[in-house]
Structure 1
């Protein structure tokens, strides 16, 4: 090889290496489409682990067919771990759906925690106001326009879940939901699932069935978009159950008899580790019995709620008991009114 040929080869190798490291930097900053462009050039030359890196990026982008081809080349280039990539992608969806199923029956408290505990506090209303502004940007301009800003917002507010309450858990869950949705809309479905999973955990911690339903519906739409209809159907079905539970918990119901059936099932499913959820379901059950004119059943369930709420410190439960008291007085359920009044006197 002549000196000119050696020089040309050296310059080609340098340019290729530069593309590889550009791809690496782009992947780390979340710009997966541009990372794929760089890795594709290097992988075409069969250099290093570029085929493996490209396959991983393509899976995160939801480009499963092309990723599978590059996985095959990566194996030929001496990277047998590429065999696991395709399998892992499907397993990620399965793990998400298994997590969602656990959430539906009462998942453990937190399955992750932020690395540090913040000082001071943050107002849920402020979190939600910023989230609403970012959601408006997403709807108007698309996920790519605001995904980075959503992640910045999330990094600032997420640590406060360790010192938060129901309102803050809900607010941060909504940020995770938006982060997952904008990741999907940015062409990064692989990055969306961890956000959806954490949104479900926080929504369950807050006993927010409507938010659980929303997250599962969004995940289902993402699965459907990326040609996984069976997994999409499972997510939609779980979301439908959560939506039904949310509907059954509303203060005013068009069909209290259906609500009674749904709430009775919920009450029976809750154990001592989910006292607040059980008390809220009992109160909702009592109120729907009142709506049906069954004062005996309303009093039985309402008194049960009052007794179990003695060790519960929850403003939401207190509000629900106040509404139950108002409705019990209007319906003439004197036994229930006396029990609620006695509780209020003791708290006094």
Structure 2
């Protein structure tokens, strides 16, 4: 009897975790939702594996999502197989949309859900966007993603009564929404924003903005291990693509990368916290590749100091990658420096 009671209580606990996952997903807390759904999926509770896969795809964790899709199909949820195709299809649709944009084909396929309220000038929209972009640069996408979405909800309806200046202004908001979604760890929600940014930029015939959006999309693809899609986005971005490829900081030529990155770090003002953190981390990686552990350690110390108030999944990922490389190289002091940051941040 006690065994039955214990099993019942365990099942109830797993069920509560599943419900907590649903609540977290509804609230937009996808990483928290993944934690809850993962426990439920481990116990093969209902469609938990399907729900977990959906959340993981939204987080850009494609490999794990595909693994849980396989588990879900084995559990009898055949619809999970469609999630894999849907994830691949979303990237493909974006690139097809971008290709149509580049040849000037008509692509305006949506209208805002709201109607314009009051009056807005493009310059006012852009001033607010610049302020939010400055917050993103200094504190990371997590800190301002919600504010960007609130700004977008107010200004997007004005595209139906605006001209090229307003289309450009709202496109820049969509670009920032996609970028901060990516930096917040939810790349699955970034592509629709990038698509709309491209559409509005084409309406305004703003080629430089089109290149900027495609470059950001390419960098997101790279971060989430989709190099083929990244290359296509960069190719469509033309000149902006070249700069983005340079930012990849390939370790094949560390000395050249160090020279380039040292110059680049010097161009960043104090407000560009995330950019400096990522560049300093890249510098440390290249020094580590040359076996210069002391130099790498000093750069890590600077990067961690820069990142003290930064909330950025992308910057944290760069530090974790450096920690993995340091561990492989036997540079335990570097590993301890970086793991201490995450221990403090939780």
Alignment of 1:79 onto 2:77: yes
Task: Tell me if the contact between 2:100 and 2:107 (Cα under 8 Å) persists in the aligned partners.
Answer: no
Q: Is the 8 A contact 1:209 1:242 kept in 2?
A: no
Q: Which residue of 1 aligns with 2:308?
A: none
Work out whether residues 210 and 243 of structure 1, in 8 Å CA contact, stay in contact via their aligned partners in 2: no
1:14 aligns with 2:12: yes
Q: Contact 1:107/1:201 (CA < 8 Å) preserved in 2?
A: no
**2:193 equivalent in structure 1:** 195
Choose which of 155, 158, 172 in structure 1 pairs with 2:156.
158
Give the unaligned 5+ runs of structure 1: 245-348
CA contact (8 A) 1:209 1:243 kept: no
Q: Name 1:58's counterpart in structure 2.
A: 56
| 1:19-168 mapped onto 2 (5 Å cutoff) | 19-108=17-106, 110-168=108-166
For 1:116 and 1:62, locate their aligned partners in 2 and report how far apart those are by CA, in whole Å.
Answer: 30
How far the C-alpha of 1:115 sits from its partner, in A, is 1.9
Match of 2:207 in 1: 209
Greater mean deviation of Cα atoms: 79-88 or 173-182: 79-88
Q: Distance in 2 between matches of 1:117 and 1:85?
A: 34
Q: Do the aligned residues in 2 keep the contact of 1:60 with 1:189 (CA within 8 Å)?
A: yes
Helix, strand or coil: the match of 2:238? helix
Query: In 2, Cα distance between the equivalents of 1:25 and 1:170?
Result: 36
Cα RMSD of the aligned pairs, angstroms, is 1.8
Mapped to 1, the partners of 2:241 and 2:232 lie a distance apart of 14
Q: Which runs of 4+ in 1 moved over 6 A?
A: 241-244
| Structure 2 unpaired stretches of 5+ | 243-346
Residues 230-282 of structure 1, C-alpha deviation per residue, up to 9 Å, x if partnerless?
A: 111111111107889xxxxxxxxxxxxxxxxxxxxxxxxxxxxxxxxxxxxxx
> Is the contact between residue 37 and residue 52 of structure 2 (CA under 8 Å) also seen in structure 1?
yes
- Counterpart position of 2:171: 173
Output the CA distance in 1 between the equivalents of 2:240 and 2:36: 43
Structure of higher RCO (CA pairs closer than 8 Å, 6+ residues apart): 2
112-121 vs 49-58, which moves further: 112-121
Q: How far 1:215 sits from its partner (Å)?
A: 0.0
Instruction: Number of aligned residue pairs: give it.
Output: 242
| Mapped partners of 1:109, 1:216: distance in 2 | 16
Alignment-derived partner of residue 250 in structure 1 = none
Q: Distance in 2 between matches of 1:67 and 1:109?
A: 31
Report the TM-score when normalising by structure 2.
Answer: 0.67
Is the radius of gyration larger for structure 1 or structure 2?
1
